[in-house]
Amino acid sequence: MELLVEGPNDTRDPDMGLLRIVARAHDIYARLAEDTKLTVHDIARAESLTAGYIYVLLRLRWLAPDVTTAIVNGQQPLDLNAEKLMRMAMRFPADWAEQRALLGFR
């Protein structure tokens, strides 16, 4: 039996799946901002993804800054992974406190 205690000094390695989708969201947003003729559909075609997936992914760009920092540092709730974050992205409230509560941050 193992006891897992989550706290401010949690030293887990960052979840690479979470890092990948958050970084990808920021990258795609930057590409769209840089080239105003580029569309979500262009990116989707170039990366063999659906436009719907890209639209969901882009919602991660507006995560609360401390949530993004926690993900980068591997300090997200133990049950938060890339799949769960993408499923929840469509329900993200604009309010950062509500985002934290929805995602299981204290």
Q: What pLDDT was estimated at residue 56?
A: 96
Q: Is 4 inside any structural domain?
A: no
Check: CB of residue 82 under 8 Å from CB of residue 21.
yes
Q: What pLDDT was estimated at residue 73?
A: 96
Q: What pLDDT was estimated at residue 3?
A: 46
Length of the chain: 106
What is the extent of the structural domain holding 50? 16-103
Q: Is 97 inside any structural domain?
A: yes
Q: Is 2 inside any structural domain?
A: no
Q: What's the number of domains the chain is made of?
A: 1
pTM over cut 0.75? yes
Q: What pLDDT was estimated at residue 6?
A: 55
Q: What pLDDT was estimated at residue 9?
A: 57
Q: What pLDDT was estimated at residue 106?
A: 77
Sign of the four-CA dihedral 17, 98, 58, 25: negative
Calpha distance 58→82 (Å, rounded):
14
Calpha distance 88→82 (Å, rounded):
10
Q: Chunk the chain into consecutive blocks of 10 residues (it has 106) and report each block's average pLDDT, rounded to whole numbers.
A: 52 92 97 97 97 97 96 95 95 93 90
3-state SS of 4-32? CCCCCCCCCCCCHHHHHHHHHHHHHHHHH
Q: Is 3 inside any structural domain?
A: no
